[in-house]
Copies of this chain bind each other. A is one copy, B any other.
């Protein structure tokens, strides 16, 4: 199957369960951006992020035999919850390998979704080693967060929705800004738009200091971040674009945009005030680019994919505090 056929097939498998998330607008945000801004609210997806799409796509593509043995993933975040939720609905055992210093609530949520949680010491142990051992012993299938064709296809189903919703809104040409970590969602959306809305162009958005995708697209080589953590935008921090995702991004995506953490926090606050949605910093960078980096964007309309809303209270309070000054 071609990449696009994989997306169509994933869309068929997701149809009974996925939420078609709305494309939101606000005249107040249009005024700030000085153009029409349409916000694809994937924070409203099951588990609070788009990652449910990829998790469900991958698990539903397995043979019944493989599903019965179970799946394994390395993540404490949105990918973990997406995989755990999809596995639970499918009655498929899921093992999540999570660093022991991950937030309590994330570990509890993953357990509450019925997954087996294996904690490891981020400094002393190697998660790939632990995962490989468990996978071999128990016959588990590894579900990678982005470098997996079925995961990319699942994320791409968001692109099919964007194409349809943009057409209904009368938009034929626009940049589609996507919060970008390893590039699974960005490349999936780009592949979907290539066939269904060729006037829409996906562009990755990243936080300052973790702009590997933007730099890689600019240089034409896979670039790596010097820091590997410590960002408010933890959901989209990856060392470098993926082996499968980068060639797709290189072929189809426009240049990346880099925003500051403060801009991400301000976008979160405006999303709360004007759209009534909850975003995490990493899920708000695309909206931040649409609102505060208009000079980097062409055309009278822009689409921003707000990818997740799994944020803790303290970080959310920091975002809300920016309302006093904007």
Contacts and interface: CB of A to CB of B under 8 A. Distances in A.
Nearest to A272: B278
A142 interface: no
A171 interface: no
A43 B22 CA distance: 12
B28 A44 contact: no
Nearest to A46: B25
A19 B24 CA distance: 8
Contact of A276 (B24, B31, B48, B323): B48
Given A278-B278, A313-B323, A22 B24 contact: no
A276 B309 contact: yes
Contact of A277 (B31, B46, B276): B276
B19 A44 contact: no
How large, as a class, is the contact surface on chain A? 20 to 34
A313 B320 contact: yes
A276 B22 contact: no
A88 to B, nearest CB: 8
A75 interface: no
Interface string A104-148: 000001001100000000000000000000000000000000000
A199 interface: no
Contacts of A109: 28
A276 B43 contact: yes
Given A276-B48, A277-B277, A19 B19 contact: no
A41 B276 CA distance: 10
Contacts of A278: 272, 276-278
Contacts of A60: none
Interface in A68-91: 85, 88
Interface of A: 19-22, 24-25, 27-28, 31, 41, 43-44, 46, 48, 85, 88, 109, 112-113, 272, 274-279, 309, 313, 316-317, 320, 323
22 contacts: A19-B22, A20-B22, A21-B22, A22-B22, A22-B44, A24-B44, A25-B46, A28-B109, A28-B112, A41-B44, A43-B276, A44-B44, A44-B276, A44-B277, A272-B278, A272-B316, A276-B279, A276-B309, A278-B278, A313-B323, A316-B320, A317-B317
